[in-house]
Amino acid sequence: MSAWFSPDSIDDALALIERHPDARLIAGGTDLLVRRRSEMSDIPLISLERVAALQGIEEVREDGMLAIGAATRIAELAVSPLLAANAPLLQRAALSFGAPAIRNMASVGGNLCTASPAGDCLPPLHALGAQVELIARAGRRRLPISDFIVGPGRTSLAPGEIVTRVLLPSRDRFAWQAYEKIGRRQSLAISVVSFAALLRLDDEQRIAEAHLAWGSVGPTVVTAPELANWLLGKPLDQSLIDVAAERARAAVCPIDDLRAGADYRRALAGNLLRRFLRRVQHG
Ligand SMILES: Cc1cc2nc3c(=O)[nH]c(=O)nc-3n(C[C@H](O)[C@H](O)[C@H](O)COP(=O)(O)OP(=O)(O)OC[C@H]3O[C@@H](n4cnc5c(N)ncnc54)[C@H](O)[C@@H]3O)c2cc1C
């Protein structure tokens, strides 16, 4: 049986990490305990569950951002009025996540640190331009999510660091926000392809701003910035939608695996963008 620590402050958690450098942090345990069950018996675990500073969703007045505590459960994201008003695409991702029992345990910080190409929070967080806040004995730092997740299962989390918050810049000017997840079934399914988008039209119905992100079609989330830039200033008509879908298929780099083939995933990536742009076109 491994040692289990339950600090109730960030300072206590950092002190425990210092005293037990071989320990692992644990939030909901829905990844850690499943993956490492056989290896966990001797590894001390530091639970983040009781650290109040890592819980909840709030507006940060000074920089107009929305802050989500790293240990906040996916279930809380799914019902948050603040997310419904500011980042409905992230809320949609939370609602498509696993099933209620998993959503009640799993945390947004755990989803980030697992860094799975299929992680449901990750495409919305990329599209939203989220920043990840980290703390260690040496101090705090903040970095864009695209610098935090560096590969499949790999992050730039340094030894001794804790993810404290995920910060979302204000995106209320985006009338169009979407998250879609295609899996082999409706719940308890890992995504075959997922897609997140934010889009704003100007008064002449031209695309004024776009942020796109796909999951499960590359080693990490694919954001295709060239495609998003190419859309800017263009009227949203059928020929634009066709070319955009074609460009999306070219931008992703999926693999064949147990859940789907690469060609199918590529086609889905294009179709999800096509479906989203059509919805915007028809208002
Ligand atoms: C049945 C089942 C269904 C699932 N369905 C989905 C799904 O639909 N979509 C999806 O995206 N995922 C799914 N998952 C995967 C998992 O639930 C998520 O990745 C979840 O967000 C992990 O969060 P957690 O709090 O449980 O992480 P944990 O297992 O507690 O931790 C995961 C990793 O993150 C580290 N960590 C956690 N918090 C911090 C922190 N604050 N600072 C530093 N390191 C930290 C831990 O040390 C560990 O390495 C599923 C898992 C199961 C078992």
Is 102 near ligand 1, meaning CB less than 6 Å away? yes
**For the segment 22-44, what is each residue's pLDDT rounded down to a tens digit?**
999 999 999 998 876 666 668 99
Residue 196, SS3?
strand
Q: How far is CA 8 from CA 5, 27, 52, 231, in A?
A: 10, 13, 7, 48
CA of 189 to the centre of ligand 1 (A): 14
Q: What b-and-e string marks burial along 149-167, b requiring 16 or more CB atoms within 10 Å of the CB?
A: beeeeebebeeebbbbbbb
Q: How far is CA 197 from CA 114, 211, 218, 223, in A?
A: 22, 6, 17, 10
Q: What are phi and psi of 235, to 5 degrees?
A: -75, 140
Angle at 226 between CA 152 and CA 132, to 5 degrees: 45
Q: What is the mean pLDDT of the chain?
A: 95
**For the segment 159-179, what is each residue's pLDDT rounded down to a tens digit?**
999 999 999 998 888 889 999
For ligand 1, atom 6, the nearest C-alpha belongs to 98
pLDDT band at 258 (very low <50, low <70, confident <90, very high): confident
Closest atom of ligand 1 to 32 CA is: 29
pLDDT band at 58 (very low <50, low <70, confident <90, very high): very high
Please give the model's pTM, rounded to 2 decimal places. Answer: 0.96
CB under 8 Å to 85, separation ≥6 — which residues?
172
CA of 27 to the centre of ligand 1 (A): 8
Is 153 near ligand 1, meaning CB less than 6 Å away? no
Is 29 near ligand 1, meaning CB less than 6 Å away? yes
What is the residue type of 110?
A: G
Name the β-bridge partners of 142. 133
- Tally of residues, the chain: 283
**For the segment 195-238, what is each residue's pLDDT rounded down to a tens digit?**
999 999 999 999 999 999 999 999 999 999 999 999 999 999 99
Q: What b-and-e string marks burial along 13-35, b requiring 16 or more CB atoms within 10 Å of the CB?
A: bbebbeeeeebebbbbbbbbeee
Is 91 near ligand 1, meaning CB less than 6 Å away? no
**Which domains are delineated in the chain?**
4-168 (3.30.465.10), 176-281 (3.30.390.50)
What is the DSSP code string of 146-176?
A: HHHEEETTEE-PPTT-EEEEEEE---TT-SE
d(CA 235, CA 98): 38
Q: Say yes or no to pLDDT of 2 above 90.
A: no
